[in-house]
Amino acid sequence: MGYALAKAFLRQKAQVLLISGPTTLEIPDHVDFIPVETAQDMHDAVARALSRVDIAIFCAAVADYTPEVVAAHKIKKSSDTITLTLKKTVDILGSARSIHGFKGYLVGFAAETEHLEGHAREKLSGKQCDMIIANDVSQQGIGFDSTENEVLIVEAEENTQLPRDSKEHLAHHIAEIILQRAAQKHSQA
């Protein structure tokens, strides 16, 4: 979805900075691209970039937890079970306003498996976003590893349902909505 959005914003004549972890997707032409490997790398790249952008869209599905210790070598089979200790990863979206002071239009994504609107509303408020784009990743054929998606756009005053469609078509509609809402917010500031 992030790559589809990058292309959609390029078609709207926007300058696009794409920060991405490893993927087999082709990097769109004419974007500024920053490759990252880890959640911490992504956080650091975002922190450096936020002061340069008017709209920030966070749609990477960054893991919420990471191993506390990373083994330098293969862990050999020695017993029937193993316990891994996980620690929370840095909250990239949550730090945009609270730590990095981002004042622009902030959009987050929410990949959910239940209570789509409720969880999206919690994220909208808790992370101080202007918009959350939520999708139910438990549905077959949409979201991860698919060319299609179906999303619920959640804002403070309203919801907008975009029915199942190609990610490219959805990205076009989402980009138009974000640009319109960001312009409204900017004119009210």
For the stretch 118-136, pLDDT in tens is: 999 999 999 999 999 999 9
Q: What is the pLDDT of residue 61?
A: 82
What is the CATH number for 54?
3.40.50.10300
Q: Is residue 177 part of a domain?
A: yes
Q: How confident is the model at residue 116 (pLDDT cuts 50, 70, 90)?
A: very high
* Number of structural domains found in the chain: 1
Helix H or strand E encompassing 112: strand 105-112
Residue 47 gets the label, from left (phi > 0), alpha (psi -120 to 50) or beta, of alpha
Pairwise CA distance, residues 157 & 180, whole Å: 15
For the stretch 88-108, pLDDT in tens is: 999 999 999 999 999 999 999
Q: What is the pLDDT of residue 146?
A: 84
Percent of the chain whose pLDDT exceeds 90: 80
Pairwise CA distance, residues 53 & 170, whole Å: 22
Nearest alpha carbon to residue 104 among 122, 75, 128, 120 = 128
Q: What is the pLDDT of residue 129?
A: 98
Q: Is residue 69 part of a domain?
A: no
Q: Is residue 77 part of a domain?
A: no
Task: Tell me which DSSP letter residue 57 carries.
Answer: E
**Both structure tokens of 45:** 């790249």
Q: Is residue 75 part of a domain?
A: no
For the stretch 146-181, pLDDT in tens is: 889 999 999 999 999 999 999 999 999 999 999 999
Q: What is the pLDDT of residue 92?
A: 96
Residue 28, domain extent: 2-64+83-188
Q: What is the pLDDT of residue 103?
A: 95
Q: Is residue 74 part of a domain?
A: no
Q: Is residue 72 part of a domain?
A: no
pTM here is 0.91
Find the helix packing angle between 167-188 and 2-11, rounded to 10°: 60
Is the pLDDT reported for residue 29 higher than 80? yes
